[in-house]
Structure 1
């Protein structure tokens, strides 16, 4: 990726060229560099490199990468080390979304801004408690550049900036017109395609004409990809791999014993050896292949529109307004037809708990061959697979005035932003129809041919609405206070008001107790935040400056949070820069964690006290509740680095980071609760786990550190064109936290103890431009990692997951008038993701299953 100074260097080059053109004979006139505001500070500067590392990704780099969506661009950077997900995660409340996780600290600890200002978080929470900005809701075609601050920034931006900040900066003064389209397809016969288009229109130059109007529209459509479409996932039979099993699901049996199967095949099942699915078991069982019910990538249709206007009100005052609208549809198979068996429940909204639904076949039921009531395990095969379609609408309306008065630069703005979700589900189970048909024998579980009226009665379609809102007022001002011998003292101050609200509801079918096996994430709450902040930049020497900042946030729910920061920038030589910083940060408890919320999900745990299968994994229901007494998570950040630039074409930088996070919010460990026989573990009459009740608490601490290395070198030749080599490498040294609150911390760097956290991630790009052709070859490297020792209890598990190394190639041709033709190939060598038996096949946070993907695009400039 580009060196952090690329933006400022480009500005310097353009200004220098313009000065030279004005007076070619005047060699004594000094070049005046325009001061700019860089992410992480409110004080304008002309410094090429600042006291904190900032990676800049320009629009040109985005085009040359061949990436077609904003998440693909951002998630590829080396600092996105782990614990972030994209739309491959379809089994969550935030399916169809994508986020970024700097330093592996999760999406909730990376602050995403648009034009330096916050936007609304996604309408509901990831993993029930984490709120984050959905990158899929933001436009790509309108992006001028992206600045990634890889340092804590709570002293400037407040909550959520513990790991860093991603600032997406849209085009501010675009003139002209551009239209483009691209068509992509997998070469592996999966049938997945992706089509994109964009349109840019801009008129007026703010400096010359006094105004600018800019409009951008882009869209994406891609096919749904199921595991059954991928050759190496289709069979779900991984017995030829170390630690692999036949990943099929037993079904159609009596008395909770899979070997007591139905007399005949019902549904898409086959008889297979029980031991192939669960080692150590004997006999044959009916089982089905879940590949046909597993959407590894949803079908997507998205549109983003941006309208921005800027007008000079006076010579010193400018007004601006911006509207962003995006609409997204993500469709996928949620799962196989509803499973019927022990543990089937529905929600009692009055008592706020789950109630068990009897699935025992009464005597005389057509599916019961015995003379006694008999438990049954099967699926509602006739009802069909459970499907979901998420429709998300994101909006942002921003208006502001900025200007220069006396020695002060100032900016005042107000905005309102929303993320609205409607989740449509089909083929879920109707509890009351099920209970009636079970009692009267109107539906035969052992038959493939049931009355259409009975099947239709069992089918349940619902709508789950959710919305997240953010309203803000921002005011900032900056100036130079006075001069010291080494230069002017810079000062900036500001105020922010925010109103945050979430209303994530569940369907009426769940509230009425109609839906079988409901998953619930009800969030309803709001709060106000008032914040004031100040920043000083003091030049102690001509080569040494110190920056000090502080911010006080006052939340209406938990109280105050103060975040200070101090940094040093030392440049003893023109080609050498030394820098370092110390800061404290915080993450405010999310609304799902601290407000009125209830969440119900499904998981599994090893139960040593299970009366039927002691020591085996047992499925259960998790019920989580919020805690109004939570405090913010706190952090301490240290950064130390250097940049060496022997020439304008070469630079090498390295930055060390160290982050300590305290009071991390989370529920108690379910496995520990089971082992300790905690009373919150609820069991049925047999003594088997049914439900675990939990609440969020400020718990353990986490320490992580690592090194970022950035290298850039350009080579210009007359005969062979221009070359540029850019490399960004992140080395994760430590990621240490307790497995259970109160225990000694364990280092998870290079393991999948706390989600997969590879020690090395690297992105290296080689650019070549010659006449009408430019090309970029990019190498993406994700290091392998060790298995969680608990996983190694399974026989034959590999102790280590291999690395994931792929190449992308993009070639652009500009030989036609006003036209650019681009051919991009992702995963050039068609590598499969590395085998990880602790997952269905591979870790979706590190790789994807599409294989080689080829895209052809055409852009036309009017």
Structure 2
């Protein structure tokens, strides 16, 4: 057995050695003669993703995976996003709705080959969709796959090859084409519901579809489909005690204790479940008795310093969630009409709505309030003078303050309303298509308009100046525990909202025909022209204090294109394909992208295929339009205002601006109109085997190299500073006083995106399918898919970093990591009224290193989030263990009308492996790869009725 097979779980390995597999690709028999079936009758020619020329042979020179509606139903999942995120070609940079803290919170994207979600083109019925209005990491545009309907999908075709020569920008890593149903007859109703056996996550999924007319007999078909899906949240408090993956206390392993409410060397005044007071003039020293600095309110959950010091004030945040509350409503109307002379018209209109509630945790008393950075379109980012509050304090005479000096409030604000961000995404789509034949040309014409309206609402936001003023009123100040007036509550806790839109309109005209006879068949030529226009309007959401300082992006761009392709069966067993496309972007300039491919079939049981192509990705409005985004880039001491650096004992020299000794640094990125498009070169080479009828296999090598990748440019070495304002300064005796330094605190470090990096990834994909006829015991179908990355090399500043099997590149899409191997094994058995389907999804282990972030060994790798700050990461955590998810579905067809089904995902309740370097979940596990483990076993049952 090979070394690679040894790392695959034993259950899969045994099946591999037995040869009981299936192909990942929807392959028709290779023995089919082009244009005719075995009986010599003309075969229907269809369009396969990756080419606009209709063909009879579904096994193209490019590797294409097909997921049918039956496959989706048997997966046990109830959303397109869940299905796509489990495919083996999905890699680093994918985005999940569970990442509540991202720039594009609420959206979900797929990343083929780990090249990020903006290098994967998402299509519906071969046409583009308007992207999600919010960009991933503030810069990468992507199509939100969480609001694509589930029940009206006929199939999903995944092209795992560069396809810019046919589709243009964004198809460097491949294409996902979601194909909706064209012919639906009768009425069907289905309902299903499920929940996690560990608690939480209740899901309801209801569908209704009604179709009239049959294309074959009536010449038309019209249908409507309505789908509703609701998912309740799963909280971390539902999973307490399940293992280290959900623990914030790594002290028992020699690491840091990051649990809430616990005193540590880094945090001598932790946030607890109840507020308390701190004396700012009493220094606190790690490991010492600091009780003189604390004052607790009577009757609170954390009522004394002794209780805090002993760990009795520790708690788990009841707001943090493993998966959020979501709701989807999808409505699709379709009309397909046969016209005279073989022409056909197709109209589709749809509304796909996705709502997500993302909790933001407690409203805590802030310790200070810095000068507000205001970011508005058309105005250079600027700080608003006079908005800084040096320290949020209660006065010396505040009820319960025993210190005789203004005191610091720590902890949550009692009775504060819940803090949530709710996103409501509505994707509108209207498309008209016309297909037919004229003068021996197969003609396809289409017009379409798509729009994504995103409403965001933030509730319970804290207006810090209003809170500070209310706490310091001379009479009737804001009460920590008493009842406060409705006017105070409305002024201090505010609801703010924003409205973002993304639009895309397109027009396309294509034609193809046979232009000559070759020894292997007709030489087919395809030509086409098209244009699409995108517009983005994504203003920043205002703060509760009235200032606007979030990311914003505005812009519009028009692409005009022309393309040509050919399919040349130069011999009966040799096909050569080619394509070239020209695109002109109004902002990014022009690109010409060619592609050539071949398929050689020396026998009915064996074929060789390969492709070579160029690709590109045009910069989006968030990169070269009118946009800005800010984000944390770490913390450090200000060499000017805190020349001695951070001191754990707090005893700074007189005049030191204390807050500048541990400054949270902000990077502010604005756009760069001089950006060039990213460019790629991709190649595949593979074989197709069908040694016996019903057993087919494919092996494909791939390589994709992307250059001129658009990344955030280096931060300027000279920061932009605020104007000098009164600040907390050291008095030289361990206490503080108010002073106004001669220079302002650091505001931000400016940066712009640049064309800098390059990435090259190489790998292999293996797929095999086998169908067994078991006679009286039914039929058995097996499928196996395996993807292995030989390398994933990112070059930054001329230095190449190998990231395959590592945690890099960090900072992209919730730090998703780069495992080398993913595998999926599917088993489907049918007999009479019964159908049983099982799937195993396996993700290999990976280590904590990320050379792009200076983490070259395990000791470095564990320090990313301060879990093991001394670099002493235990061997057990140096490598994130592999993960195997097992799913099962059972269908029982009672009669022609009634079908019952039940499914279980993560059947064996496998827990996620510990990952101490990831950050997206806030816990030491990787939410992009191992969320199924955090959710746990999930049981779903349902019924469908057709009439």
* Normalised TM-score (structure 2): 0.82
Correspondence 1:471-620 to 2 at 5 A = 471-507=505-541, 509=543, 514=546, 520-605=550-635, 611-613=644-646, 619-620=664-665
1:11 Cα deviation (Å)? 14
Mapped to 1, the partners of 2:371 and 2:313 lie a distance apart of 23
Q: Name 1:653's counterpart in structure 2.
A: 698
Structure 1, residues 617-638: CA drift from partner, whole Å, max 9, x if none?
A: 8633332211111111111111
Residues 443 and 450 of structure 1 are in contact (CA less than 8 Å); yes or no, is this contact kept in structure 2? no
Residues 412 and 476 of structure 1 are in contact (CA less than 8 Å); yes or no, is this contact kept in structure 2? yes
Structure 1, residues 464-513: CA drift from partner, whole Å, max 9, x if none?
A: 11010000001111111111233221111111111101101134557xx5
- Tell me the secondary structure at the aligned position of residue 341 of structure 2: coil
1:442 Cα deviation (Å)? 7.0
Partner residue of 2:332 out of 284, 289, 306: 306
Structure 1 608/710 Cα, relative in aligned 2: closer, same or farther at 3 Å?
farther
1:362 Cα deviation (Å)? 7.3
Q: Name 1:62's counterpart in structure 2.
A: 72
Q: Name 2:295's counterpart in structure 1.
A: 263
Please tell me whether residue 859 in structure 1 is matched to residue 859 in structure 2. Answer: no
Mapped to 2, the partners of 1:196 and 1:182 lie a distance apart of 5
Q: Name 1:180's counterpart in structure 2.
A: 190
Number of aligned residue pairs: give it.
832
Structure 1 780/605 Cα, relative in aligned 2: closer, same or farther at 3 Å?
farther
1:455 Cα deviation (Å)? 3.6
Q: Name 1:397's counterpart in structure 2.
A: 430
More deviation in 436-445 or 727-736?
A: 436-445
Mapped to 1, the partners of 2:187 and 2:495 lie a distance apart of 45
More deviation in 687-696 or 845-854?
A: 687-696
Structure 1 35/357 Cα, relative in aligned 2: closer, same or farther at 3 Å?
same
1:315 Cα deviation (Å)? 2.3
Structure with the higher fraction of residues in strand conformation = 1
Residues 602 and 622 of structure 1 are in contact (CA less than 8 Å); yes or no, is this contact kept in structure 2? yes
Mapped to 2, the partners of 1:344 and 1:94 lie a distance apart of 25
More deviation in 150-159 or 562-571?
A: 562-571
Residues 683 and 690 of structure 1 are in contact (CA less than 8 Å); yes or no, is this contact kept in structure 2? no
Partner residue of 1:129 out of 139, 155, 163: 139
Structure 1, residues 210-256: CA drift from partner, whole Å, max 9, x if none?
A: 11102111110111222222224777444445746333262364549
Please tell me whether residue 112 in structure 1 is matched to residue 122 in structure 2. Answer: yes
Residues 706 and 759 of structure 2 are in contact (CA less than 8 Å); yes or no, is this contact kept in structure 1? yes
- Tell me the secondary structure at the aligned position of residue 315 of structure 1: helix
- Tell me the secondary structure at the aligned position of residue 102 of structure 1: coil
Q: Name 2:348's counterpart in structure 1.
A: 322
Partner residue of 1:721 out of 770, 778, 794: 778
Which blocks of at least 5 consecutive residues in structure 2 are unaligned? 1-20, 262-269, 649-660, 730-743, 810-814, 850-854
Q: Name 2:831's counterpart in structure 1.
A: 770
More deviation in 245-254 or 122-131?
A: 245-254
Correspondence 1:191-206 to 2 at 5 A = 191-206=200-215
Structure 1, residues 765-812: CA drift from partner, whole Å, max 9, x if none?
A: 111112221111111101111003333343335211111111001111
- Tell me the secondary structure at the aligned position of residue 924 of structure 2: coil
Q: Name 1:696's counterpart in structure 2.
A: 753
1:752 Cα deviation (Å)? 0.9
Structure 1 612/340 Cα, relative in aligned 2: closer, same or farther at 3 Å?
farther
Residues 35 and 45 of structure 1 are in contact (CA less than 8 Å); yes or no, is this contact kept in structure 2? yes
Q: Name 2:928's counterpart in structure 1.
A: 845
Q: Name 1:280's counterpart in structure 2.
A: none
Q: Name 1:664's counterpart in structure 2.
A: 709
Mapped to 1, the partners of 2:895 and 2:155 lie a distance apart of 26
- Tell me the secondary structure at the aligned position of residue 480 of structure 2: coil
Structure 1 583/159 Cα, relative in aligned 2: closer, same or farther at 3 Å?
same
Mapped to 2, the partners of 1:100 and 1:149 lie a distance apart of 13
Residues 101 and 110 of structure 1 are in contact (CA less than 8 Å); yes or no, is this contact kept in structure 2? yes
Residues 718 and 749 of structure 2 are in contact (CA less than 8 Å); yes or no, is this contact kept in structure 1? no
Structure 1, residues 363-406: CA drift from partner, whole Å, max 9, x if none?
A: 64628766666766655444244211111111100112111112
- Tell me the secondary structure at the aligned position of residue 60 of structure 1: helix
Mapped to 2, the partners of 1:578 and 1:225 lie a distance apart of 48
Partner residue of 1:352 out of 381, 393, 405: 381
Mapped to 2, the partners of 1:258 and 1:596 lie a distance apart of 47
Structure 1 76/263 Cα, relative in aligned 2: closer, same or farther at 3 Å?
same
CA RMSD in angstroms, aligned pairs only: 3.1
Structure 1, residues 406-463: CA drift from partner, whole Å, max 9, x if none?
A: 2100111111101111111111112441343355367979933362343432101101
Structure 1 561/778 Cα, relative in aligned 2: closer, same or farther at 3 Å?
same
Structure 1, residues 15-39: CA drift from partner, whole Å, max 9, x if none?
A: 99xx9xxxxxxxx951332111100
Mapped to 2, the partners of 1:151 and 1:219 lie a distance apart of 34
Q: Name 2:807's counterpart in structure 1.
A: 752
Mapped to 2, the partners of 1:339 and 1:476 lie a distance apart of 62
Partner residue of 2:676 out of 631, 637, 651: 631
Mapped to 2, the partners of 1:691 and 1:800 lie a distance apart of 36
Mapped to 2, the partners of 1:498 and 1:76 lie a distance apart of 31
Mapped to 2, the partners of 1:732 and 1:432 lie a distance apart of 53
Mapped to 1, the partners of 2:581 and 2:343 lie a distance apart of 27
Residues 343 and 690 of structure 1 are in contact (CA less than 8 Å); yes or no, is this contact kept in structure 2? no
Structure 1, residues 727-783: CA drift from partner, whole Å, max 9, x if none?
A: 111101211114xx4151211111112131111111101111122211111111011
- Tell me the secondary structure at the aligned position of residue 263 of structure 1: strand
1:652 Cα deviation (Å)? 1.7
1:12 Cα deviation (Å)? 7.9
Mapped to 1, the partners of 2:897 and 2:844 lie a distance apart of 42
Structure 1, residues 279-308: CA drift from partner, whole Å, max 9, x if none?
A: xxxx78997645213122111111111111
Structure 1, residues 59-98: CA drift from partner, whole Å, max 9, x if none?
A: 1111222211111111111001222121101112322221
Mapped to 1, the partners of 2:235 and 2:426 lie a distance apart of 25
Mapped to 2, the partners of 1:304 and 1:348 lie a distance apart of 37
Q: Name 1:810's counterpart in structure 2.
A: 889
Which blocks of at least 5 consecutive residues in structure 1 are unaligned? 20-27, 277-282
Mapped to 2, the partners of 1:450 and 1:603 lie a distance apart of 40
Residues 184 and 854 of structure 1 are in contact (CA less than 8 Å); yes or no, is this contact kept in structure 2? yes
Partner residue of 1:466 out of 494, 500, 514: 500
Structure 1, residues 506-562: CA drift from partner, whole Å, max 9, x if none?
A: 34557xx525xx651211111111011110122222211211111111111121111
Mapped to 2, the partners of 1:202 and 1:52 lie a distance apart of 35
Q: Name 2:59's counterpart in structure 1.
A: 49
Mapped to 2, the partners of 1:752 and 1:442 lie a distance apart of 56
1:52 Cα deviation (Å)? 0.5
1:271 Cα deviation (Å)? 7.2
Q: Name 1:796's counterpart in structure 2.
A: 873
Q: Name 1:386's counterpart in structure 2.
A: 419
Partner residue of 1:161 out of 158, 168, 171: 171
- Tell me the secondary structure at the aligned position of residue 930 of structure 2: coil
Residues 494 and 532 of structure 1 are in contact (CA less than 8 Å); yes or no, is this contact kept in structure 2? yes
Residues 397 and 415 of structure 1 are in contact (CA less than 8 Å); yes or no, is this contact kept in structure 2? yes
Q: Name 2:490's counterpart in structure 1.
A: 456
Q: Name 2:652's counterpart in structure 1.
A: none
Q: Name 1:78's counterpart in structure 2.
A: 88
Structure 1 630/380 Cα, relative in aligned 2: closer, same or farther at 3 Å?
farther
Please tell me whether residue 424 in structure 1 is matched to residue 457 in structure 2. Answer: yes
1:330 Cα deviation (Å)? 1.2
Residues 622 and 693 of structure 1 are in contact (CA less than 8 Å); yes or no, is this contact kept in structure 2? yes
Q: Name 1:23's counterpart in structure 2.
A: none
Structure 1 709/11 Cα, relative in aligned 2: closer, same or farther at 3 Å?
closer
- Tell me the secondary structure at the aligned position of residue 935 of structure 2: coil
Structure 1 642/40 Cα, relative in aligned 2: closer, same or farther at 3 Å?
same
Mapped to 2, the partners of 1:109 and 1:443 lie a distance apart of 58
